[in-house]
Structure 1
Amino acid sequence: MCIPPEAQWKRATIPDRRSVPFFGQGRGLTDSQSLDSIPPPPSPKLRRAQKVAEQKAQRIQDFKQRCGPGFSSSSAWQARPWQHRIAIEQGIRKQDALPEEMEVVEDPTIEEPVGINPVQVEVGEFEEPTVDVEEIVAENPCQNYHCKHGKVCELDENNTPMCVCQDPSSCPASTAVFEKVCGTDNKTYDTSCHFFATKCTLEGTKKGHKLHLDYIGPCKFIPECLDTELSEFPLRMRDWLKNVLVTLYERDEDNNLLTEKQKLRVKKIHENEKRLEAGDHTVELLTRDFEKNYNMYIFPVHWQFGQLDQHPVDGYLSHTELAPLRAPLIPMEHCTTRFFETCDLDNDKYIALEEWGNCFGIKEKDIDKDLVI
């Protein structure tokens, strides 16, 4: 029996609506279209529909071969276009009910900002902050503890600083001749450190009480100071003090040598046109200049006393306080020692401001402690 393949296909496929392929939204087949013209979709459902269409085409081809070319199957198919359309629409509705295949999109991980800082910092980008903890070293009590020449600071059993005599062997050796010193015992010491350390070890003895630093340099023969030479010494000493002060004024560019009060005093001396130029001058010239320009010498004498009266500032000069001025002068001025001895009128081993002024010819009424600035 030759049953048109359309009827066979209809009975086989229409009851199972899930087998109807999806060809597009709201779009069915026209009379001029065939299933063979539809490209196979990638969906499994469409592949099954394509297979059904291929089977239908094969049945039609077999029918023509068995029943002959005069029988047309198109009339049977064309007589029922509504059946085909119903099948297609039902398949479309069923396809719409199925979940669509969705492209898997990788959800990027969004890192939350660290703290309130909107800038995300990668782990390990910065090292952990390190805090340098300075080692706390206990302050040495001897650090700011002052000891006089010849003594050093040491700590007792209670960690209390105390001054003890320095070992002379611990003093550094001299590197030049001018570092050597001569003591009043007429002995040359390698350095002033060796001298004061030795003097400290003699504390409490008669020898130690008489031992003093005599002058700078190795011990040498110092001629005796005659009376005539002693009378000339204050003249040269006054002139030298004045010229030293004027030189300091001229070179004091950084205000480190003289105070403002001292500068005001020296300014008048510096502007004095009659002052003597530095150098060797005859006794007569020095005497005349002192008489004519007496006021120019008052302040330099007071200034030098103030420079020496430092330990302590009490208005008296001890043998130790005189050393910075006397020690360098003795090798050049052999009357230095005798001059300072004569200044101590009361022989108390100290030179007061009044005694100092008198030695340099300053009148008693002009000696003023307020000028010691």
Structure 2
Amino acid sequence: MIAHYVAVLALVAVTLPASCVANNTMTKNLKVLVSSNDFPASGLKVLEEHFTVVQTKYLNFGEEGRTLAKEDLLKLIPGSSALVWLSHHPISKELLDRAGPQLKLVATVSAGYNHCNLDELKARGIKLSNTPNVLASAVAEIAVGLMLGAARRFTENLDQVHKGDWEIGFDKVLGQDIRGSTVGIIGLGGIGQAVVKRLAGFEVSKFVYTGHREKPEAKALGAEFVTQDQLLAQSDFIVLAVPLTNETKHMINKDTLGKMKSNAIVINVGRGDLVDQEALYDALKNKQIYAAGLDVTTPEPLPKDHKLLTLPNLFVLPHIGSATERTRSDMAVLAANNVVNALTGKPLLTPVNL
């Protein structure tokens, strides 16, 4: 009996790899294009086990992405079965036309997908995946950092340090507490929930949230569902954690800013265009609200002479929400596994409904 069992194990050990090799051989003729030269090695490894991977030699961000990378991608994309998109530069009709009809998937390595031309993808029958949830913890940490930075006046205080001219006194450059505050979350998805969890030790008085519907997870988090107007009127901190859509574009504007408390602090970790920056500038300049903390702006990068950067009550970071080694690696692997599933007939792990 033992000899028979050993023989069966040996047979499995021989035949199973051969089957896997055959499957890999079948998919190796499929071409996958990676849009930037800084895609993490962990994701490349997954892709290269299954497909022929082509990667641009350029960075698909900033001016290099708009020029050199774009031209290179147009040359490389014909015949691609999947596109791994690592950038906020738009996926254009020109790129999709050049790819050809065999393109099955665009896997964006981001939670947001407003750059992905949803109507065009839907019309062509091309699937779309994103990388939500795996970046929620890292982005939530940045949201809390922005809350602290804006409330405790980091911009002004760091300016003192750089100048070597500190304001000394018991009543100088006083900030606001998170303790005892009402925190409003616009969009209690993965990131919004992660923000609430991370604030649990800050002695927040009340969490409120708004969105299309009540979230079942909210009860355990102690968050109350309210209307947007109620949230704006009640909150000391207002955290934007929603995707950019036609509905949410400029949701923070002159009208909504006018409904906030004078000590309100706006935090944006979503997309820059959630906020009408002209209206925000006026509200901050006139001290209509207390402060703002932004990890996202329009445009990116924000020009160094932009008038927002003249405001002492604005704390800005350069879109670093998901910028940790672990998180970026997790995003890359998730995007790669979405490609594997899409091109081997399996359901996407994180599909975007078109």
Q: TM-score range by the shorter chain?
A: under 0.3
Which structure carries more strand by proportion? Answer: 2
- Which structure's CA Rg is the greater one? 1
TM-score, normalization by structure 2: 0.24
Which fold has the larger relative contact order, with Cα–Cα distance below 8 Å and residues 6 or more apart in sequence? 2
